[in-house]
Amino acid sequence: MLTLEKRAIPSRFWARSTPVLAVFMTMIAGGVLFALLGKPPFEAIRTIFWDPLFSEFAFYYRSQLLVKAGPLILIAIGLSLGFRAGIWNIGAEGQYIMGAIFGGAVGLAFYPAEGWYIFPLMVLAGAMGGILWAMIPAMLKTRFGTNEILVSLMLVYVAQNLLSSVSFGVLKNPQGFGFPGSRNLSDYPAAANLDLIEGTGFHWGGVAAILAVLAAWGLLSRHILGYQIQLSGQSPRAARFGGVEPNRLVWICMGISGGLAGLAGLFEVAGPAAQLTPDFNVGYGFTAIVVAFLGRLHPIGIVLAGFLLGLTEVGGGIAQQNLGLPAASIQAFQGMLLFFLLAMDVFSNYRLRWATTEVV
* Angstrom distance (rounded) from CA 306 to CA 113: 36
How many Å is the Cα radius of gyration of the chain? 22
Instruction: Please give the model's pTM, rounded to 2 decimal places.
Output: 0.92
Please report the pLDDT score of residue 356 as a whole number. 63
Q: Residue 331: its pLDDT value, please?
A: 87
| Cβ atoms of 240 and 97 closer than 8 Å | no
**pLDDT tens for each residue of 189-218:** 899 998 888 878 889 999 999 999 999 999
Separation CA 339–CA 111 (nearest Å) = 46
The region that residue 201 occupies, defined by phi over 0 for left and psi between -120 and 50 for alpha, beta otherwise, is left
| Local confidence pLDDT in tens for the 360 residues of the chain | 778 888 888 888 888 888 889 999 999 999 999 999 999 999 999 999 999 988 888 888 888 888 999 999 999 999 999 999 999 999 999 999 999 999 999 999 999 889 999 999 999 999 999 999 999 999 999 999 999 999 999 999 999 999 999 999 999 998 888 889 999 998 888 999 988 888 788 899 999 999 999 999 999 999 999 999 998 988 888 888 878 899 999 999 999 999 999 999 999 999 998 899 998 888 899 999 999 998 999 999 999 999 999 999 999 999 999 999 998 898 899 889 888 988 888 888 888 887 665 544
Q: How far, CA to CA in Å, does 96 sit from each of 37, 38, 261?
A: 33, 36, 5
Q: How many helices (H) and strands (E) are present in the chain, helices listed first?
A: 14, 2
Distances (CA, A) of 294 to 10, 187, 234, 280, 298: 18, 37, 19, 25, 9
Closest CA relative to residue 206, chosen from 301, 74, 300, 70: 70
Please name which of 3, 106, 88, 11 lies closest in space to residue 349, comparing C-alpha atoms. 11
pLDDT at 358: 52
Which residues lie below 8 Å from residue 278, measured CB to CB, with a gap of 6+? 163, 164, 167, 168, 180, 181
| Residue closest to 130 by CA, chosen among 153, 109, 159 | 159
Residue 44 CA to residue 38 CA, distance in Å, equals: 11
